Structures are given as C-alpha cells and as structure tokens.
Structure 1
Amino acid sequence: MFTVAIVADQPISRAGVEKLAAEDAGMRVVAAVGSVDELPAPSASYDVVVLNLSYINDSAIDTVAKVATVGRPLVSSAWEGSPTLLTTIRAGARGCISRFAEQREVLEAMRVIVRGGLYLCPRTVDQFQVELADRGDEDQNGLAPREIETLRWIASGFTHRQIATRMGLSQTTVNTYAKRIRAKLKVSNKAELTRMAIELGHLSGKARRTRSAA
C-alpha cells in the first residue's frame, strides 16, 4: 500500500481524487488539503502528491518544487502557454496530466510514479514532444522559438495585446514570455529588449515590414 496526499483548492476536485484513490485497495489517502501550506509534515515522504493547479505560472513552478521535497508530485493542469511541461518536470514533477484526464489515467499515473517512473497522459504527449524539439532550437541565450518570436514582435513596436492576437495566445501568456525574455537577457525595459533583439539578429525584416503595414 502506498500513501497519497491531495492538494486542490477546489473542494469538488479534491473530493473526486480522494474518492478515486480511496476505492483502490493499494492506496491510502493520508492528506487532502486546499493548499501546499496545509500539508502535514510527513514522517516519511508521501509516495504520491496529486497537485491540482488551475494553470501553470512561475509561482506554480515554485509550488511544484516545494511539493517535491515531501513527495513525488503528480501535477494536473491545463498546460497552456509558459512555463512548460518540461519546466514542470525539471522542477520535480514525476507526472503531468491534463485536468481533463480520465479517472483510469489518474490511477495509472499514480501507479507509474510509485514504481519510480515518469508519467505523461496521452493528452500531453504531443505537446511534450514539441517542447523537446524546441529546446534544440534555442539560441545561445536560452530563448525558445516562441520567446524569440515574442521578442521580435516587441522590438518591432507591437503591444502585448497585439502580439497575443498575432500569435494566437492570451495576453497573460505574452506577458509571461516577456518577463522570461527580460530575465534571460538581463534587461529591464523595452528599449533594452529592442537593442538586444538587433544585436542578436532577431529583429527580422519580415517583422519590421509587418509593423509598417499594420
């Protein structure tokens, strides 16, 4: 029998996972709480910590890393934008599932993690493969392709709202990209971003022409 802790801020989601785990003879739910801070300090690490996150952002990544110190995190989220699945795994997650995953997938994920494996539900596999491919295309400053694209639009004079429309993303995601770009390039404002884009060769003629025609 292995121990399961559940962290979900929505009571219905928390109750659903708790019921699912309780019905499996090989699992014992030892904690079901609304936040990581409510988790009781375990005498030994939890075998699995099911972590339900509405969305992934930098704060959520910090939460995953914190949970990883007391158990093996199984992260459930929508997986839209950035940070990515790969970033979440690097923070310590042992499994990533879509919040729309079937019950059997959640159970399988917990069993795989307990056996020492890494689990990705079918809904996330394609995205993860794309992320791995993108890593191979990063430039020397660690910018992923979508971050480079965002940098080009910013340097060409577009607002975050306009960039979101052109890239088919939410403005929140573009804001996050911009924040990560500034951190990676160690700059603090738009003027410095534009200068770096030119120096790195990312301010393409195509982006400039598009701005002029807008």
Structure 2
Amino acid sequence: MSVRVVLVDDHRMFRTGVRAELREPLEVVGEAEDAPGAIEVVRTARPDVVLLDVHMPGGGGVAVLQALAKELPDVRFLALSVSDAPEDVISVIRAGARGYVTKSITGPELTDAVVRVAEGDAVFSPRLAGFVLDAFAAGGTVEAEPVEGADEDLDRLTAREREVLRLIARGYAYKEIAKQLFISIKTVETHVSAVLRKLQLSNRHELSRWAADRRLV
C-alpha cells in the first residue's frame, strides 16, 4: 500500500531532488512552494504525509499547520528543514507536526521517516529529539532561545538569509552552504553580502559573533 506525500518547499530544485530520492512505498501526489499553495494542495490531495519546509513565503510551515492540523487530523506533517534551531523545532511541533528532520538526511532515511510518520510515529533527527524533550519537560517553553520576531535586526532578513546566517555562524564554507540549500555558491555570496549590509557588519567573523550573542548558532 502506497503512502501518499505532498512536498512543500520554496525551492523547485530541492523538491525535484527529494522526489528523486524517495522510494516505494512513497508516492508524491502534489507539491507547493509557499504556505497558501500548500494549504490548497493539501486540502485537495488529502495526502497521508506532508513534507513541510519551515521557512518559506506566506507564513512558513507554522502557517500551514495552523490552518490544517485540526481541520485534517488524518494528514500527518513532517518538517524537513535546513534549520536545526531549537525555536524552529519547537514552533512546528507545537503547531502540530509529527516530527522534524534536517536536510542532511539521506534518501533512504527520509523514506523511512515518512513511512514511520504515516504509521503514527513521531520522528526526529537524533540531535533534535533532545530539544523537544527539554522543552516539554520545562512546560513547553524553550528557555534561552530568542523568538525571531523579537529582534528587529533579525526581522530585516529574509527566511533564506536567516538560514545562510546560521550556517555561516556554525562555520560552514560557502560550498557546503550551497550544497545544503541547493543553491549556487554565487547565490550564497549574494545572501551573505545582503546579511552583512542589513546588519551593518563588516565581515564573516563579526557575523558569527553577532549570531552567537543572540544564541542563533
């Protein structure tokens, strides 16, 4: 019996790559590149599992979950994101996702994760499970992690610029960032330049220190 899947990510090349990696019994029955499109596609296709990006236009994965999690209780959501920031993990789990895996996951691992979520399991990349346990043990809050909307400087950045910022701050090379985000090295350089300009920083070292001070790393 097949597991019907909808892919939601704002990068077409990434969706193409995921589709190519997924194996039986998964069947992709729809795709979307933003939150409003995802809501429409999921309502129409009624998949078993939605592979959901966290940062994308239209309100991100949380907006999709807020619109659909209660309306369609039989549809399960698995977050698939480049971000492993605790605040991102907790926000989508609170909104109704059944799991959260990062984009470093392999094709076979992703196929297994989707099947497990379809069967009712909660699935997390190993490092991320601890965030969830700690948060809910503390009453559902994530101490020491900022809410992005509370930082005016961070709000100036697009979702993609925030992803690049976090990866730069964690010491990733431009080539590694390009591979993770399925974009060109030139595009990474463009995003870094935009981040430096918007935050009024001079170099990568200052950017890393800025992110560390806000516990974004």
Give the TM bin, normalised by the shorter chain: 0.5 to 0.7
CA distance in 2, matches of 1:6, 1:166: 34
Q: SS at 1:146's partner residue?
A: coil
Q: 1:168 aligns to what?
A: 212
Contact 2:34 2:60 in 1 (8 A): no
For 2:144, which of 143, 146, 153 is the aligned residue? 146
CA distance in 1, matches of 2:211, 2:9: 31
Q: CA 1:74–1:12 in structure 2 vs 1: closer, same or farther (change >3 Å)?
A: same
What stretches of structure 1 of length at least 5 have no aligned partner? 149-160, 174-214
The answer on 1:80 being equivalent to 2:85 is: yes
CA distance in 2, matches of 1:8, 1:147: 25
**Deviation at 1:11?**
1.2
Question: How big is the alpha-carbon RMSD for the aligned residues of Structure 1 and Structure 2?
Answer: 3.4
Q: 1:105 aligns to what?
A: 109
1:37-75 superposed Cα distances (whole Å, 9 cap, x missing partner): 2243545631001112348xx754223323534531110
CA distance in 1, matches of 2:67, 2:214: 27
Normalising to structure 1: TM-score of the pair?
A: 0.56
Aligned runs of 1:98-137 on 2, under 5 Å? Answer: 98-133=102-137, 135-136=138-139
**Deviation at 1:113?**
0.8
Aligned runs of 1:1-214 on 2, under 5 Å? Answer: 1-21=2-22, 24-39=23-38, 40=41, 42=43, 45-54=46-55, 59-68=60-69, 69-70=71-72, 71-77=75-81, 78-80=83-85, 82=87, 84-133=88-137, 135-136=138-139, 144-146=142-144, 168-170=212-214
Contact 1:49 1:74 in 2 (8 A): yes
Bigger RCO (CA 8 Å, 6+ sep): 2
**Deviation at 1:129?**
3.4
CA distance in 1, matches of 2:32, 2:42: 13
Q: CA 1:131–1:31 in structure 2 vs 1: closer, same or farther (change >3 Å)?
A: same
Q: SS at 1:74's partner residue?
A: strand
CA distance in 1, matches of 2:43, 2:49: 12
Q: 1:199 aligns to what?
A: none
What stretches of structure 2 of length at least 5 have no aligned partner? 147-199, 201-207
Q: 1:178 aligns to what?
A: none
Contact 1:73 1:93 in 2 (8 A): yes
CA distance in 2, matches of 1:98, 1:8: 13
Contact 1:2 1:26 in 2 (8 A): yes
**Deviation at 1:14?**
0.5
1:56-113 superposed Cα distances (whole Å, 9 cap, x missing partner): xx7542233235345311101213252x423321201011001222222211110111
Normalising to structure 2: TM-score of the pair?
A: 0.55
Look at both structures and tell me which one has the larger radius of gyration over its CA atoms.
Answer: 1
